[in-house]
Amino acid sequence: MAVGGITYLDHPDEVRSALSPVRRELLARLREPASATQLAAALGLPRQRVNYHLRVLESAGLVELVEERPRRGCVERILRAKPGSFVVDPAVMDRDRDDDDDTAARFTHIQDQYAAEHLVEVAARTVRDVARMQSAADSTGKRLLTFTIEADVRFAAPGDVHDFTDELAQAVRETVARFDTAGGRPYRLVAGGHPEPSGGRQR
């Protein structure tokens, strides 16, 4: 996979493979190529145990073989973490919770533009869809053309949020009407807003 690509995790077993403390540490250290012997020495762990974790990570597609070197009558395998980012499909975490509580675990499908649950659901779907397409584009050496618009706004009163949303929606409808072309390549536009978290960017 090319540098800067995305490794998309949409199976629970893959996620579990990456989440244990030892494997997270191995992934961090494998940003630079290394062998099981080198990693075992750095972590103070038996080489057999490190080899086991590396095999699990390799089977999950999270690390890759860089080269094989002859060493004292055997072959030393040099591995590295897949370049780029690991993205977990939000639905994977949701599926895991479904095993315990099928009702409470699922996002409510509230089609309310002011509901936080709806924003979370839309954001999760965006993460899933874009990560899948980026992963597919990386595998074929193509570029996925996307765009992102970010802005900060300070509202004087809670009701201003509704007025702002109405005006923004109207502006988007008018812009879409100008550019929408029958037979053109379809895009999905998502606009959302939420309060700045505590300790956010300083102005």
Inform me whether the pLDDT recorded for 183 exceeds 60. yes
DSSP code at position 154: -
- Name the pLDDT band for 54 (thresholds 50, 70, 90): very high
Number of H helices, E strands in the chain: 7, 5
Tell me the pLDDT band of 58, cut-offs 50, 70 and 90: confident
**Is the predicted pLDDT of residue 103 greater than 50, yes or no?**
no
Q: What is the mean pLDDT of the chain?
A: 77
User: Which residue segments constitute the domains of the chain, with CATH numbers given?
Assistant: 1-146 (1.10.10.10)
Task: For residue 29, give the amino acid letter.
Answer: R
DSSP 10-71: -SHHHHHHHHSHHHHHHHHHTTS-EEHHHHHHHHT--HHHHHHHHHHHHHTTSEEEEEEEEE
β-strand partners of 63 = 81
- What pTM does this model have? 0.47
Mean pLDDT within 156-160:
88
Rounded CA separation 159/202 (Å): 25
